[in-house]
Structure 1
Amino acid sequence: MNKFIHVLLCVICLLVSLASEFRAALANDQKPNVIVILADDLGYGDLSCYGAEDIATPNVDRMATEGAKFNSFYVSPVCSPTRAALMTGSHSARVGIGGVMFPRNNHGLNPDEITLPELLKGEGYATAIIGKWHLGNEDMFQPLKHGFDYWYGTPASNNQFYYPTIKKYAADCMFREGYTRDGILQRETAACPLVCDNVVIEVPADQTQFTQRYTRETIRFITDNKDKPFFVYLAHNMPHIPLHASEKFVGSSKRGIYGDTIQELDWSTGEILRSLKELGLDKNTLVIFTSDNGPNTGKGGSAGPLKGGKGSTLEGGVRVPFVARWPGTILAGTESDEAITGMDLLPTLTKLAGGDVPDDRVIDGKDIWPLLGGKPDAKSPHEAIYYLRGRGVDAIRVGDWKYRMATDKPPKEQRSKRQPAGDSKPKKVSVETLYNLREDVAEQTNLIDKHSEIAQRLKQQLATFETELKKNLRPAGVASAPSDRGD
């Protein structure tokens, strides 16, 4: 009898294994699911797989071990431009989003833009944004107007008040800290709300619960859509200030509340990976983890070996972690120094889904699948990396060389001790620099005098790009008529 039970158990285990392999085989014939996890203000030195010693990120580290880690992934120095570039595959200035969107702005991502979720939706994908949008407050700019089927999150940064262009409130909306619907409409401002499909469900949002809630919503969405391809854009609010973590994670790191928020983001990533495996979706899902710009170094963030931080076109402001995992498709343990950008996600993911990239407009992003897929000797598809700040171009990188002409505050030792009367701010100066990033990633040694011919060549190439950019600008959308402002 015991022998029979043993054989029966072996048969059951074999059938379970075969069923799992059969499901995986079916999945490999399907369009890949995609999850893009975007942290807010997380720096190059804030993950242990990128050198952090006081923040533990075992789940993202495992993604890097089981997938690919890129050391030269570029975004914009601030958040709204990065998000615009990710959505459109184009430089942010090209689509009219030069800087951070603020509550009173009446412009946003133009409805005429063709976005990544729209392209994937056209290929049969269920699409969701869970987290921060920050590409326009008016109703005409919201995620549901740009190809997302579902939105759960915040209109903008967690430190911004919002002007209630979203005027619909759930019947059971939770009003906290003395807020009421009538009070908000009379006052015309409110602290950061939590929104579900253009309906306010909590105001102000309980920020200690952001990461917990976003994780649950992500898992719910992928569970509900497990039988068809899905795209989830998980745009966390952390570690943007004000910093918050749930009770379980407060005090968990060696870098204070800043590190606590990142360790909770890592936990979230682990929960999502675990759910994918339980649902049998692990081998057909591409998961990407990255950040929208460099760290807020004054609040605990670290750019590791890089110079500068958020808001700067020094490497620390625009070079961020990028880890991609797709078991059985992306070669485990891949690491690359090739330069790629956030704009590259649109053409890469669109082609993976079987779609076509728009050919009626300039798309600056490139297909980076040869690099992600581990093609031998694959190189960056970019002839040059351009560093935009606002609507201007600060710098250019070609190969190992970076030329930068930026207006910065002068070093303290160069500031005049005799400021003009009434002038409390030091005058800014334009500085030209040339660095070899392979030898000097910290941008410490200016080689412009030693290699003036390289600097001149890059300066001319930058000017040529700037001329092309100005000739091929696409305007942001503008909400001016009352009908555009919701109801």
Structure 2
Amino acid sequence: MKRIVKVIVVMLVFVGIQKSEAQKKKNIVFLFADDAGYHDFGFQGSKTFKTPNLDKLASEGMVFKEAYTTAAVCGPSRAGLLTGRYQQRFGFEENNVPGYMSDSSKLLGDDMGLPLKEKTIANYLGNLGYQSIVLGKWHMGNADRYHPLKRGFTEFYGFRGGARSFFPLTQKQTADKPEDRLEKGYKYYKEPSKYLTYDIADEACDFIDRNKKKPFFMYVSFNAVHSPMQATPEDLAKIKGLTGKRKILAAMTLALDKACGQILKKLKEEGLEDDTLIVFSNDNGGPDGTHTCNYPLSGCKSNNLEGGIRVPFIMKLPSVIKPGSKYEKDISLLDLLPTFVNIAGGDASKIKNIDGVDLLPFITNKNKKAPHEILFWKKENRGIVKKGDWKLLRFPDRPAELYNIKEDESENNNLAYQYPEKLKELFTDLFTWEGELERPLFMLKRKYEVNAMKRMDDKRTPVLDVVE
């Protein structure tokens, strides 16, 4: 009898240790905006767009000045951050939007998606005992085989496509575009009774409530502030001094900020704030400059000037990251996967073939070097490399351009003819990297690629909103 009691005591102690270890694991909350302008947040300098909750998060954590996404459009940038690998390594080079693709593409329609051989952040965190959820926009493939629940996530509340209405859809709309329908798990779900940005926040808080005693990962993939341009009357009424698209966008941004604030408040109420790594960022630059503002950067979504690929980025981790601090060396959204894996108690150094790095040693000054000596981008025949302060842009139809981003972040002074040796060096780096890549699985029709280049030419001069 005594032996049985002793065994039971040992088992209880072991279970207690396991629970204690689980409680020590940091929760991870990734708040991800869609198509926001680089300047369109208070912590980024905007005077007209009100974002008090994100501004507070910035004051409590670290703001990164040179954070880069892996692509200037939504789908590929998500493929890169979810895998920690340059998406060109597995052929996800262009947006997987049916109807925009060339007939010569390997994959078309719903078959365009994140290749099944690629592991996601959720796969690695699941192996470390984490519950995980995607909330909102998926955009990694509409076919069932690409579904979040088959890519390591334990829960999904959102839609499979790349954009949809912020208000309830009709039956005809969901029949015409099934990828726009809301799902809970694998099941189609009722349309929300409220504005979708607020609905996503409610579901996020519900997930926290159900998983507060377990380590969890939340990928809160808002479709705000992507088109369609829709805001609630209540939020519009709060926007003063703006008109037209800028007013609507400001109201959409206000809703995004309130939704983030609701999630942050829930973490605090549940006593989870000190044990949670929180990251806020955006998938690519603001679209076309008619309503978003990427100041002081030139360019916009779909091109690889700074305004298309540099994004707002905040990271908060109490007792680790100094409140109100800034980081000015290059980082990439590729770095999310290894950073999350290591903070979860894993060892990202054992993961083969990833391109990201764990940011924590760099931002806590344990490693004095820059996280990345060199970064690359590629979209069809366009290629970009940033090495230290230097950035090369290669085009199929015009001479290459060379900029010193530290001295000229607006990319107004092309130095290609003044520094031919630097140009040659970066071309060599780019060619070497491209030799490691796979052919694209799907490519844009030529007319859309031409349109993207035209937008780059039209948005060369950074414009600060006239009200500011």
Task: Give the TM-score taking structure 2 as reference length.
Answer: 0.81
* CA distance 1:51–1:158, shift in 2 (3 Å): same
Query: Structure 1, residues 77-125: CA drift from partner, whole Å, max 9, x if none?
Result: 0011111111111011112211111242413112221110011011111
Letter of the structure 2 residue corresponding to residue 120 of structure 1: L
| Count of residues paired in the alignment | 406
Give the superposed CA RMSD. Answer: 2.4
Whether contact under 8 Å (1:393, 1:466) holds in the other structure is no
The structural deviation recorded for 1:393 is 5.4
Task: List aligned pairs for 1:299-318, cutoff 5 A.
Answer: 299-318=290-309
SS state of the match for residue 218, structure 1?
helix
Structure-2 separation of matches of 1:396 and 1:191: 35
Deviates more, 1:54-63 or 1:277-286: 54-63
Say whether residues 1:337 and 2:337 are aligned partners: no
**Alignment partners' CA distance in 1, 2:378 and 2:50:** 32
User: Where do residues 49-128 of structure 1 align in structure 2 (5 Å cutoff)?
Assistant: 49-75=43-69, 76-103=71-98, 104-128=109-133
1:377 Cα deviation from its structure 2 partner: 6.4
Displacement of 1:52 in angstroms is 1.3
Identify the match of residue 401 of structure 1 among 363, 387, 390. Answer: 390
Q: How does 1:441-456 map to 2 (within 5 A)?
A: 441-456=409-424
Structure 1 pair 28–60 and aligned structure 2 pair: CA distance change class (3 A)? farther
Amino acid paired to 1:30: K
User: Distance between the aligned counterparts of 1:319 and 1:180, measured in 2?
Assistant: 34
> Which residue matches 2:249?
258
Which of 167, 186, 193 is the equivalent residue of 2:181? 193
Distance 1:282 1:359, change over 3 A: closer
CA contact (8 A) 1:258 1:299 kept: no
Matched residue, 2:33: 39
Residue identity in the other structure for 2:374: A
- Any stretches of 5+ residues in structure 2 without a counterpart? 1-19, 99-108, 443-468
Q: Which residue of 2 aligns with 1:386?
A: 376
Give the match for residue 10 of structure 2.
none
Residue by residue, what CA displacement relative to the aligned partner does 1:331-360 show, whole Å, maximum 9, x if unpaired?
111101110111111111111111233857
Structure 1 residue 55: Cα displacement? 0.2
1:460 aligns with 2:428: yes
Shift of 1:178: 5.2
> Of the two, which has the highest radius of gyration?
1
* 1:48 Cα deviation from its structure 2 partner: 1.3
Partner of 1:354: 345
Name the one with the larger strand percent: 1
Question: Match of 2:40, as an amino acid?
Answer: D
What is the aligned partner in structure 1 of residue 16 from structure 2?
A: none
- The alpha carbon displacement at 1:199 in A equals 1.4
Identity %: 34
Q: Residue type of the partner of 2:188?
A: V
Query: What is the DSSP-based 3-state SS (H/G/I as helix, E as strand, rest coil) of the residue aligned with 2:361?
Result: helix
Q: Name whichever of 246-255 and 53-62 sits farther off.
A: 246-255
**1:189–1:400 CA distance, 2 compared to 1 (3 A):** closer
Give how far 1:475 is off.
7.3
Provide Cα deviations, 1:7-59, integer angstroms capped at 9, x if missing partner: xxxxxxxxxxxxxxxxxxx7996110001011110121111111112101111
Q: What SS is found at the alignment partner of 2:399?
A: strand
Change (3 A) 1:464 1:191: closer
Structure 1 residue 297 corresponds to structure 2 residue 288? yes
* Partners of 1:189 and 1:338 in 2: CA distance: 42
Equivalent residue for 1:414?
none
What secondary structure, in the 3-state scheme, does the structure 2 residue paired with 1:108 have? Answer: coil
Distance 2:237 2:410 in 1: 31
